[in-house]
């Protein structure tokens, strides 16, 4: 029932590998950087070779039309898409696989499944695109936490835009629709959601809402939160439908309780989403900075000055070069403005003046105003391709025994320099200890008037058989620095199982008690995604 081209071991689909010439460039860069060439790519284990336990649940006769225990379906729903997932998959370790996978056709199927799971004492894991990088859809390993068994509920058949309100410019959308299918259904109407996380191709509306995803745009509408007008959630205790309101001052906002609930409260089956007109006017430019902190100061002024660039990605020089952009000498600010209605050249020029005041040197020929839709689409497509290819490279690096992963956070402008120094010191010490060397680079993904979201990339020469332990040690070190300096454990990657200890540490005990109380109200038997957000024994 699932697209059998989807990889069970890594990102994306079979046959869509990272291009070999670009892989050779990456190899050359890493060889020069670390003094030794990365290992040859190790083979991917076949489906038959995966280590997987026999299912502890039989497919219930009443649900047989949409539930399976097939090996491929169980494998492809075992892990998310983090580096640690890829490494375990390459090792053939699929022991946490769900016992059953359900592909409900409609909301009635979901209600029937939750009823059956509650009676059977089974655990239910909502699954969108499975692009989580924090263990959000990974079944528990411990027998106690698995209870009678684990059933993963994949929403891929709930993939429709059901209704469009042109007057209010909103759409009613099913939770299982993937990014490209959503945009394809909106485009004929002249609309876009304009929410483009890097994982756009293989993630869903329900997943974005459940994780409070951050899109590609740097300012203003960045989180999916901004686009959610109302929600529909199927819980073990019944269906919760919030009302369509552009604003609502009556008590705590219901949608806010559900956004970021990561499958522990119920299944998001539908949402009314706020749309935008398709942008036609664009103006963009890259700006070089010799000093990263000068670039950061320019970003702060841009964020506080009310220009609201759609794109303002400050990328450290080595990262830009590794991704095939930049000159390796300068840090790079990728700056872009867009609008459906108005030319953006004036805004771009105002932003370039801000950058110049901090020593930023604008690339000459990149200033443009794509008021004709054809060329705007072509350039958007070019950007999209290089952006979407990056995850395939990460998986190839894992196959070469490298340690290669990202982590992200958010902090105030005032706190950034101290935090950044602490994160780099922790990363370097851990990489040196674990791998003998390593590279950490930073880029800003989102800007706010009071702070920014730094996104770090780590690459280190790993050791076959030790990659997981090496990354876990580096991650623990950098997470410790984030916590010590009061930066969030995640700006948009969510909590899942992996960030749970830090989330519990960072949030007030009373907030967590409120979350537990909310869960007890809608999921009294604690069957929904135990171990995510809260520890299993408190679910
Ligand atoms: C290469 C790569 C790039 C990424 N880039 C970004 C990025 O730019 N911005 C960003 O925010 N994140 C990013 N992520 C992380 C991930 O894509 C997001 O967390 C995304 O929102 C998950 O959506 P999904 O549909 O894949 O959800 P899944 O991975 O399937 O699930 C994630 C969590 O949501 C729950 N869930 C999923 N669907 C539902 C539903 N319908 N109802 C209730 N609960 C549900 C699951 O139980 C799980 O806890 C990236 C990940 C990768 C691998």
Q: What is the mean pLDDT of each run of 10 residues along the chain (539 residues)?
A: 83 87 90 95 96 97 98 98 98 98 98 98 98 98 92 98 98 98 97 95 97 94 96 98 96 94 98 96 92 98 96 92 82 92 92 97 66 45 63 95 98 98 98 98 97 97 97 98 98 98 96 96 97 80
Q: Rounded to the nearest whole angstrom, what is the distance from the C-alpha of residue 79 to the centroid of ligand 1?
A: 12
CA 174 to the chain's CA centroid: 19
Element (H, E) at 68: strand 67-68
Nearest CA owner, ligand 1 atom 50: 199
Ligand 1 and 531: CB distance under 6 A: no
* DSSP state for residue 228 in the 8-state scheme: E
Extended strands (E) in 110-216: 123-127, 150-154, 161-165, 170-174, 191-192
Q: State if residue 12 touches ligand 1 by the CB under 6 angstroms criterion.
A: no
In this prediction, residue 368 carries a pLDDT of: 60
User: Could you tell me the distance, in angstroms and rounded to a whole number, from the CA of residue 131 to the centre of ligand 1?
Assistant: 5
pLDDT for position 371: 52
Instruction: Classify 224 as helix, strand or coil.
Output: helix
Residue 456 CA to ligand 1 center (angstroms) comes to 19
Q: Give the Cα separation of 265 and 19 in Å (integer).
A: 41
Here the tokens at position 258 are 């559900």
How far is the C-alpha of 72 from the C-alpha of 98, rounded, in Å? 11
* pLDDT score at 514: 96
In short, whether 213's Cβ falls inside 6 Å of ligand 1 is: yes
Which residue has the least CA distance to atom 37 on ligand 1? 207
Residue 446 and residue 222 in contact, taking contact as beta carbons nearer than 8 Å: yes
**Cα 490 off chain centre by:** 10
Strands 267-274 and 170-174 turn out to be: antiparallel
Tell whether ligand 1 has an atom less than 6 A from the beta carbon of residue 523.
no
Query: CA-CA distance, 515 to 523, in Å (whole number)?
Result: 12
For the residues of 280-303, what is the DSSP string, one character each? -EEEEEEEEESSHHHHHHHHHHHH
Please provide residue 537's backbone torsions phi and psi, each rounded to the nearest 5 degrees.
-70, -10
- Using the structure block, give the residue that is written with the tokens 């949402």: 271
Instruction: Judge if the beta carbon of residue 445 lies within 6 A of ligand 1.
Output: no
State the pLDDT at residue 387.
Answer: 67
Cβ proximity of 131 and 203 under 8 Å: yes
Tell me, using a 6 A CB cutoff, whether residue 175 lines ligand 1.
yes
Strands 238-241 vs 228-235: parallel, antiparallel or unpaired: antiparallel
136 CB near ligand 1 (under 6 Å) = yes
pLDDT confidence of residue 43:
96
What CA–CA distance (Å, rounded) separates 482 from 321? 26
pLDDT at 383 (0 to 100): 46
Is there an atom of ligand 1 within 6 Å of 526 CB?
no
> Which pLDDT belongs to residue 17?
78
Does the C-beta of 530 come closer than 6 Å to ligand 1? Answer: no
Ligand 1: does its nearest atom lie under 6 Å from the Cβ of 173? no
Show the tokens assigned to 488.
Answer: 């969030």
For 147: left if phi > 0, alpha if psi spans -120 to 50, otherwise beta; the answer is left
Instruction: Single out the residue of 158, 142, 45 nearest to residue 91, CA to CA.
Output: 45
Reduced to 3 states (helix: H, G, I; strand: E, B; else coil), residue 44 is coil
The residue contributing the CA closest to ligand 1 atom 21 is 208
């Amino acid at each position: 029932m699932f697209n059998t081209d989807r990889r069970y071991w890594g990102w994306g689909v079979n046959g869509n590998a990272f291009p070999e010439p670009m892989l050779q460039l990456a190899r050359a860069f890493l060889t020069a950087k670390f003094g030794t060439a990365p290992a040859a790519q190790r083979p991917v284990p076949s489906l038959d070779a995966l280590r997987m336990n026999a299912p502890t649940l039989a497919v219930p006769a009443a649900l047989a039309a949409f539930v399976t225990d097939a090996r491929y379906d169980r494998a492809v729903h075992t892990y998310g898409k983090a580096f640690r997932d890829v490494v375990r998959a390459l090792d053939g370790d699929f022991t946490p696989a769900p016992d059953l996978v359900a592909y409900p056709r409609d909301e009635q199927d979901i209600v029937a499944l939750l009823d059956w799971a509650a009676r059977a004492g089974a655990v239910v894991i909502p699954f969108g695109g499975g692009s989580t990088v924090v263990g959000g859809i990974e079944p528990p390993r411990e027998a106690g936490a698995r209870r009678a068994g684990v059933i993963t509920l994949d929403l891929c058949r709930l993939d429709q835009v059901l209704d469009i309100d042109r007057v209010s410019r909103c759409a009613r959308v099913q939770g299982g629709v993937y990014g490209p299918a959503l945009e394809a259904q909106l485009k004929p109407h002249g609309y876009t959601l304009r929410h483009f996380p890097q994982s756009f191709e293989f993630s869903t509306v329900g997943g974005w809402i459940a994780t409070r995803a951050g899109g590609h745009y740097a300012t203003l509408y960045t989180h999916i939160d901004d686009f959610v007008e109302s929600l529909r959630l199927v819980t073990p205790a019944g269906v919760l439908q919030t009302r369509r309101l552009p604003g609502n001052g009556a008590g705590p906002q219901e949608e806010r309780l559900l956004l970021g609930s990561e499958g522990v409260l119920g299944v998001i089956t539908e949402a009314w989403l706020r749309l935008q007109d398709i942008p036609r006017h664009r103006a963009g430019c890259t700006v070089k900075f010799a000093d990263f902190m000068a670039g950061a100061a320019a970003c702060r002024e841009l964020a506080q000055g009310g220009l609201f660039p759609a794109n303002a990605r400050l990328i450290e020089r080595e990262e830009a070069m590794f991704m095939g952009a930049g000159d390796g000498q300068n840090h790079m600010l990728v700056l872009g403005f867009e609008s459906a209605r108005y030319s953006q050249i004036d805004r771009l020029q105002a932003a370039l003046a801000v950058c110049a005041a901090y020593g930023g040197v604008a690339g000459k020929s990149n200033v443009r105003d794509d008021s004709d839709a054809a060329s705007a689409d072509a350039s958007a497509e070019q950007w999209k391709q290089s952006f979407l290819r990056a995850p395939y490279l990460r998986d190839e690096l894992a196959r070469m025994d490298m340690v290669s992963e990202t982590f992200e956070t958010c902090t105030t402008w005032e706190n950034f320099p101290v935090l950044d120094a602490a994160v780099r010191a922790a990363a370097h010490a851990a990489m040196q200890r674990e791998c003998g060397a390593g590279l950490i680079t930073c880029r800003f993904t989102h800007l706010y008037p009071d702070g920014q979201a730094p996104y770090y990339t780590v690459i280190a020469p790993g050791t076959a058989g030790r990659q997981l332990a090496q990354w876990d040690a580096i991650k623990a070190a950098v997470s410790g620095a984030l916590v010590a300096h009061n930066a969030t454990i995640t700006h948009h990657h969510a909590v899942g199982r992996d960030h749970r200890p830090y989330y519990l540490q960072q949030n007030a005990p009373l907030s967590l008690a409120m979350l537990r109380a909310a869960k007890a109200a809608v999921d009294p038997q604690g069957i929904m995604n135990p171990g995510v957000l809260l520890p299993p024994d408190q679910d």
